[in-house]
């Protein structure tokens, strides 16, 4: 599939890298953005296909700093091929995949394998994240320099925290030399114990073991102290509690190199969903208690947590939205709540979920796009800035979406192998219409109309 020359006419161009939000045209060619702005008919090259972008938003393709593509080792849950199709359908043109694979991404050979697989199978850019510790076992540091040379874009033992504070301290020390962040899954296991959902009245009502907010906050506080001591680059993965937000806010105010991400589900749904009470918005399917698709780490929390996370996202304390797309096979979820795997399949519902915040005016369209593009690009580093820009010369990684199209989540239509989402049957407002990765049309919704070039007279 070659990159083609495409003109997208009259869409709302939202490019937070240049504080741009206005109606205009976009010309893509040779895999790059050739022009963005008002283009007269005479500027349309011969043989160019044209998309009518009226009513659609065009923005840089989304960058996901945190997803699980499960390859190598768990291809029955997801593959790079299926995950990339899910990403493209969700508007993501860059996916950073976590290393809790089998074998884990803790040496250059596994990084090379992922790069090779991505070259053959993926529709979008795949950037691997390397382990902090060998085998993700938490006992000794992985060869971070080898991993960096092989091309990892960050380090994480995600799925598990870097529990040993001294190893975290060393990893943070190396992170500044390597110029790559340490993304920590903050969970103090001596506090979370055997918890399966958020601690609180819902957990008590259901008789399920709760995970206290302090399990997250204690480790974030520790990591901030270590980032301060070492000058290292800390990225806090999947923030979920109201108390985590001021910790990150204050660290930033002190000038520390601390960034943070939040997931769509933690911004839009609460632990009431574990009870089966899905409430608003727009739920058509009746909920049921103990639905294992609501089991995720960190757990769904209370409305006050959701409100604080939205506030932190809106004011820039939280740099980016990451999906934590965690696809699972049916048997990992068709068990009791206690035994079910943690994780939600998110790539294909992320935009529709997040637009609820825009429609309800809790977040501006510009801020939402910023946190899905320039925010994550900043965490990746300077050399990734053009992935989040629509300036001419940037790679033509573009998403075109209809913010007002309503649709019902039907997991049988998912590209992802993971059908594990509590949003099954929910009505979302806003959907991707087309995704271009390096100028190639990698996803095309049924409503996309492309005018073929006029034959020359």
- State the catalytic residues: 324
Could you tell me where the beta strands, DSSP code E, fall in 264-379? 320-321
Out of 4, 64, 106, 158, which residue is the one contacting ligand NCD (CB under 6 A)?
158
- What sign for the dihedral angle of Cα 39, 41, 43, 47? positive
Adjacent-strand bridge partners of 428: 407
* Smaller CB separation from ligand NCD, 345 or 356: 345
Please tell me whether residue 297 binds ligand NCD under the rule CB under 6 A: yes
Alpha-carbon gap, residue 148 to 382, rounded angstroms: 16
Cα 409 to Cα 317: distance, rounded to the nearest angstrom? 31
What are the backbone dihedrals phi and psi of residue 267, each rounded to the nearest 5 degrees, phi first?
A: -95, -10
Residues touching ligand NCD, count (CB under 6 A): 11
> Taking the complex as a whole, how short is the minimal distance between the CB of residue 350 and ligand NCD, in angstroms?
14
Span 304-333, contacts to ligand NCD by CB under 6 A:
324, 326
- Measured over the CA atoms of residue 228, residue 230, residue 235 and residue 240, the dihedral's sign is negative
Residues with Cβ within 8 Å of residue 341, at least 6 apart in sequence: 295, 328, 332, 333
List the one residue out of 109, 251, 100, 233 whose CA is nearest residue 171.
233
Among 85, 117, 136, 185, binds ligand NCD (CB under 6 A): 185
**Shortest distance, position 344 Cβ to ligand NCD, whole Å:** 7
Strand residue runs (E) in 118-226: 125-128, 154-155, 181-184, 197-198, 210-211
Give the residue, chosen from 100, 122, 184, 317, that forms a contact with ligand NCD under the rule CB under 6 A.
Answer: 100
Which residue, 72 or 159, is less far from ligand NCD as judged by CB?
Answer: 159
Of 40, 35, 60, 45, nearest to 5 by C-alpha is: 45
- The least distance separating ligand NCD from the CB of residue 342, rounded to whole angstroms, comes to 3
Cβ atoms of 398 and 56 within 8 Å: the answer is no
Residue 204: other Cβ atoms inside 10 A: 10
Nearer to ligand NCD, 66 or 431 (CB): 66
Site string for ligand NCD, 338-357 (x = CB under 6 A): ----xx--------------
**Counting contacts by CB under 6 A, is residue 171 touching ligand NCD?**
no
Tell me how far, at minimum, the Cβ of 333 lies from ligand NCD, in Å: 11
Given CA atoms 61, 65, 66, 69 in this order, what sign does their dihedral have?
positive
Return the number of the residue (202 or 387) whose C-beta is nearest ligand NCD: 202
Question: At 446, phi and psi to the nearest 5?
Answer: -60, -25
Least distance (Å) between residue 422 CB and ligand NCD: 12
User: Per rule CB under 6 A, is residue 68 in the interface with ligand NCD?
Assistant: yes
Dihedral of CA atoms 289, 291, 295, 301 in degrees, nearest 10, equals: -30
Residue 297 C-beta: closest distance to ligand NCD, Å: 4
- What is the closest distance, in whole angstroms, from the C-beta atom of residue 371 to ligand NCD in the complex? 19
- Separation CA 379–CA 371 (nearest Å): 11
Of 211 and 367, which has the nearer Cβ to ligand NCD? 211
Which tokens sit at 424? 């099954």
Is-contact 432 445, C-beta < 8 A? yes
Residue 248 near ligand NCD by CB under 6 A? no
Distance CA 230, CA 20 (A): 37
When the beta carbons of 211 and 387 are compared against ligand NCD, the nearer one is 211
296 binds ligand NCD (CB under 6 A): yes
Chain positions 26 to 45 lying near ligand NCD, rule: CB under 6 A, are: none
Nearer residue to ligand NCD within complex by CB, 86 or 326: 326
The yes or no reply on residue 25 touching ligand NCD (CB under 6 A) is no
CB of 401 to ligand NCD, least distance (A): 25
Nearer to ligand NCD, 64 or 324 (CB): 324
* 159 touching ligand NCD, by CB under 6 A: yes
Q: Which residues are CB-contacts of 168 (< 8 A; sequence separation ≥ 6)? A: 132, 162, 182, 184, 222, 223, 226
Q: Which is nearer to ligand NCD, 25 or 160 (CB)?
A: 160
Q: Is 449 exposed, middle or buried (0-12, 13-18, 19+ CB in 10 A)?
A: exposed
Beta carbon of residue 326, minimum distance to ligand NCD (angstroms, whole number) = 4
Site string for ligand NCD, 250-289 (x = CB under 6 A): ----------------------------------------
Q: Which residues bind ligand NCD (CB under 6 A)?
A: 68, 100, 158-159, 185, 296-297, 324, 326, 342-343
């Amino acid at each position: 599939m070659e990159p083609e020359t495409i003109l997208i006419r009259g869409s709302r161009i939202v490019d937070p890298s240049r504080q741009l939000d206005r109606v205009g045209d976009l010309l893509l060619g040779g895999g790059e953005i050739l022009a963005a702005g008002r283009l007269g008919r005479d500027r349309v090259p011969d043989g160019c296909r044209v998309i009518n972008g009226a009513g659609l938003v065009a923005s840089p393709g989304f960058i996901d700093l945190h997803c699980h593509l499960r390859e190598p080792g768990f291809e029955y849950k997801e593959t790079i091929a299926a995950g990339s199709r899910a990403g493209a359908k969700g508007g993501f043109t860059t996916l950073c995949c976590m290393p809790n694979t089998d074998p884990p991404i803790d040496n250059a050979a596994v990084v090379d394998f992922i790069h090779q697989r991505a070259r053959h199978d993926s529709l979008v850019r795949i950037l691997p994240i390397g382990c902090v510790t060998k085998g993700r076992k938490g006992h000794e540091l992985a060869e971070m320099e080898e991993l960096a040379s092989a091309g990892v874009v960050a380090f994480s033992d995600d799925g598990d925290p870097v529990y040993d504070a001294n190893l975290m301290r060393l990893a943070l020390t190396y992170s500044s030399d390597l110029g790559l962040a340490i993304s920590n899954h903050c969970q103090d296991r001596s506090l979370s114990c055997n918890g399966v959902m958020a601690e609180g009245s819902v957990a008590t009502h259901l008789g399920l073991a709760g995970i206290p907010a302090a399990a997250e906050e204690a480790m974030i506080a520790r990591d901030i102290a270590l980032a301060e001591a070492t000058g290292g680059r800390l990225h806090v993965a999947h923030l979920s509690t109201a108390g985590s937000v001021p910790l990150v806010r204050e660290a930033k105010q002190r000038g520390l190199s601390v960034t943070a991400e939040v997931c769509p589900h933690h911004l839009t749904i609460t632990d009431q969903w574990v009870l089966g009470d899905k409430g608003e918005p727009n739920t058509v399917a009746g909920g049921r208690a103990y639905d294992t698709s609501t089991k995720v780490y960190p757990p769904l929390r209370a409305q006050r947590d959701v409100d604080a996370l939205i506030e932190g996202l809106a004011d820039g304390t939280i740099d980016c939205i990451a999906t934590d797309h965690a696809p699972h096979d049916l048997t990992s979820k068709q068990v009791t709540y206690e035994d079910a795997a943690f994780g939600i399949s998110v790539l294909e519902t992320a935009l529709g979920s997040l637009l609820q915040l825009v429609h309800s005016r809790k977040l501006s369209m510009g801020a939402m796009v910023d946190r899905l593009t320039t925010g994550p690009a900043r965490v990746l580093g300077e050399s990734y800035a053009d992935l989040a820009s629509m300036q001419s010369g940037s790679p033509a990684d573009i998403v075109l979406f209809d913010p007002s199209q309503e649709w019902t989540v039907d997991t049988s239509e998912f590209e992802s192998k993971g059908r594990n989402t509590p949003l099954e049957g929910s009505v979302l407002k806003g959907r991707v219409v087309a995704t271009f990765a390096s100028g190639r049309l990698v996803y095309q919704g049924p409503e996309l109309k492309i005018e073929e070039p006029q034959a020359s007279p």
